[in-house]
Amino acid sequence: MTSKPLVVGLILVYFIIAVHLTLKIDGVDSFRSSVSRWKRQIPFFSSWWGSSSTNKPDNVRRSSYHGSSKQGHSSNSYVSFLPDKLPSYQNRSTSTNNGKGVSERDSRFLSLFTLVKFDNSECLSTSGDNGTCFPQAECYRRGGAVNGRCAKGYGACCVFSKTCGASTNQNGTYFTHNGLTNPGGSFDGTGSCQLTVYKCSPDVCQLRLDFDSFVLAQPSINGICNNDQFIVSGASTAVPIICGVNTGNHMYIDVGVDNSPVTISMVTSGPTYSRSWKIKITQIKCRDLGKAPEGCLQYYRGVSGVIRSYNFDFTSGQQLSNQDYTSCVRVERNFCGIRYTACNDNVQFSNIQPTTTQRSRAFFLTGQGQTGSVTGANQCPTDWITIPCATNSGRTQQSGGAVCQDRICGDVFNSETSTNPSPVYSYVKPFRIHYHTDGNETGDTGNRGYCLNYIQQPCSIIR
């Protein structure tokens, strides 16, 4: 006959071994092997563990893991051994371990611990940044900072932030000028501040950069980023060099199928300037539905939205030279066309153009030298946007009977020659705007690039 203290002592030993092994679980890939090793080594656990649980909260699964069972997205989940907190626990304890040497009164002791699995999903940290939900130890191991809880309190909201000279292989890393733990301040050095981004998984094909904040020096009068430059190298498609203010904008970068890293650099030089940036880097799997089509530097979803060229700003922005990129809009279900209008510009300019026309600065590609909207390849040889088969009417012909236009430039947004802006329609899928500028802004002062509102057009509209 075993005495009660001996049974309790044995259980304690099991727990110490189990906790020790849990701490050794070091990644998603080793999860299954660790679990089966664990079950082999602690046979008593496998039966206790194999019992079913009920009342699972969202994204948090209790310990019903069987080595062979498939629970959907279990490849993206973790185990931790944590003090039990879930209110539904009592329902499980009575059904466990019958005839396995643990009596029911001992199950009260087991309830001190439970095994929890949760998705490594995005979480909102206490500081307002987005993190990933990990067990606390896993977060530290990956070089993150614990900032709040997630998964009903079982996980730590893990925020990754890196600054000059660092590298990362973590999804959702923030690249900042000074690190998230030291907010504020500015970067006034000269040189190159760069982050090397390694794929967090081999099946990553794309990065999305969210410019939560992006303040670099403005380009030269010619639109050339000759003091400050944002440079992406190692991408599989060409990424233009940008500078100026791009807060709130975003960028997609194709990274190809090999495992070479991408380097994101902030090159700063010239006069003193109060620079700052905070760029969130999300890694996107090749087969992720959220992946942008190849070659789309900007990608917008939703029936309506706003598309801005880089460094667009009504008051202080300036068109960047040597740009060549495509902005794409996902064709939403049951939509066949798209309507673009220049953004509202409350701050109409009066000193550059004749005050009688009071044009908007929301579309200003070849200003001053041009008057009004200009269309066609011959008329727009330097800076332009391309909207496939653009018309004001929404039909394939312009009002005068001419065929639709692809190329638009000038300082008024209109697919016909005019001094007044007009909505412009395109019924060519996919919905794309290509933007081209050359390296010469001589005589072109005042150019800002463009800001266009888009609204997708239902297929039912008779054209």
Ligand X SMILES: *[C@@H]1O[C@H](CO)[C@@H](O)[C@H](O)[C@H]1NC(C)=O
Shortest distance, position 200 Cβ to ligand X, whole Å: 5
Amino acid identity for residue 115 in this structure: L
Encoded one letter per residue, x for contact with ligand X by CB under 6 A and - for no contact, window 218-257 reads ----------------------------------------
Bridge partner list, 459 = none
Q: Which stretch binds ligand X (CB under 6 A): 258-266, 275-283, 322-330, 413-421?
A: 275-283
Q: Which stretch binds ligand X (CB under 6 A): 62-70, 198-206, 300-308, 422-430?
A: 198-206
Q: Does 289 bind ligand X (CB under 6 A)?
A: no
Q: Does 129 bind ligand X (CB under 6 A)?
A: yes
Encoded one letter per residue, x for contact with ligand X by CB under 6 A and - for no contact, window 64-103 reads -----------------------xx-xx------------
Whether the Cβ atoms of residue 291 and residue 284 lie closer than 8 Å to each other: yes
Whether the Cβ atoms of residue 168 and residue 241 lie closer than 8 Å to each other: no
Q: Does 327 bind ligand X (CB under 6 A)?
A: no
Q: List CB contacts of 443: < 8 A, sequence separation 6 or more.
A: 368, 369
Q: Does 213 bind ligand X (CB under 6 A)?
A: no
Q: How far apart are CA 421 and CA 418, in angstroms?
A: 7
114 backbone dihedrals φ, ψ, rounded to 5°:
-150, 160
Shortest distance, position 442 Cβ to ligand X, whole Å: 4
Angle, alpha carbons 161-282-305 (nearest 5°) = 120
**DSSP assignments along 204-250, one per residue:** EEEEEEEEEEEE-----TTS---S-EEEEES-SS----B-SB-TT-E
Q: Does 283 bind ligand X (CB under 6 A)?
A: yes
Q: Does 200 bind ligand X (CB under 6 A)?
A: yes
Q: Does 204 bind ligand X (CB under 6 A)?
A: yes
Q: Does 201 bind ligand X (CB under 6 A)?
A: yes
Closer residue to ligand X in complex, CB, 182/201: 201
Cα→Cα distances 66→19, 45, 52, 448, 460, Å? 18, 11, 10, 60, 52
Shortest distance, position 338 Cβ to ligand X, whole Å: 24
**Site residues (vs ligand X, CB under 6 A):** 55, 87-88, 90-91, 122, 128-130, 171-172, 200-201, 204, 280, 282-283, 285, 288, 440, 442-443
